[in-house]
Amino acid sequence: MDEAHRRPPGVTDAEVEAVGTVAEAQEYIERARGRLYDLHQLIGRADLLYQKAADQLRETGHADLAERIRTEVVGLNVLHGRWTFQMVEEFDDGFWTTTREVSHAVRDEVTGGRRHVQEAEVKERNRTKGRPGHEATPIDDHRGNGP
């Protein structure tokens, strides 16, 4: 195991587990953030397609439907007073930033800033030393030997 992932002296199993739980929670927040960006891009693309559809409908003699799309759908707020870019910005500036700051503070205080200590310990317990594909670190040689 490399030093960057080694448990600092005096840190208990319960503390490592707590930091791991905070890290897992933050990973879920990161996944949710990705989905929010997916929503942002999907809604934006749909808005452009509605504009295109309005043009197509107008060209095929359906001016009333085209106008309805342009006035009721194109540019419509996704949430009251907000387009998706505003949702993304508010999420990033508030909730996401706060959870990242708190997660980093927990990791800094409990494990000295070391990331994935719990996972590194599980890897070390589960790997078969000397077997290819079970190297402790990327700098190990191909026979599973390393520092």
Name the residue among 118, 113, 94 with its Cα closest to residue 24: 118
Does 63 fall in a domain? Answer: yes
State which residues form the domain around 88.
11-126
Examine residue 40 and state whether it is found in any structural domain, yes or no.
yes
Residue 45's pLDDT band, with cuts at 50, 70 and 90, is very high
Domain membership of residue 138 (yes or no) is no
As a whole number, mean pLDDT of residues 28-52 equals: 98
pLDDT at position 140, please? 62
C-alpha span between 107 and 15 (Å, rounded): 10
3 occurs within a structural domain: no
Token digits for 125? 């317990």
Instruction: Say how far apart CA 136 and CA 147 lie, in whole Å.
Output: 9
88-120 pLDDT, tens digit each: 999 999 999 999 999 999 999 999 999 999 999
Is 6 a member of any domain? no
Classify 116 in phi/psi space as left (phi over 0), alpha (psi -120 to 50) or beta. Answer: left
Nearest Cα residue to 100 out of 29, 36, 15, 31:
29
User: pLDDT per residue over 6-23, tens digit each?
Assistant: 999 999 999 999 999 999
Residue 1 falls within a domain, yes or no? Answer: no
Of 75, 72, 93, 91, the C-alpha closest to 83 is: 75
Q: Count structural domains, the chain.
A: 1
d(CA 38, CA 67) in angstroms, rounded, equals 28
pTM: 0.84
Tell me what pLDDT residue 1 has: 81
91 touches 33 (CB < 8 A): yes
Do the domain assignments include residue 133?
no
CB atoms within 10 A of CB 118: 21
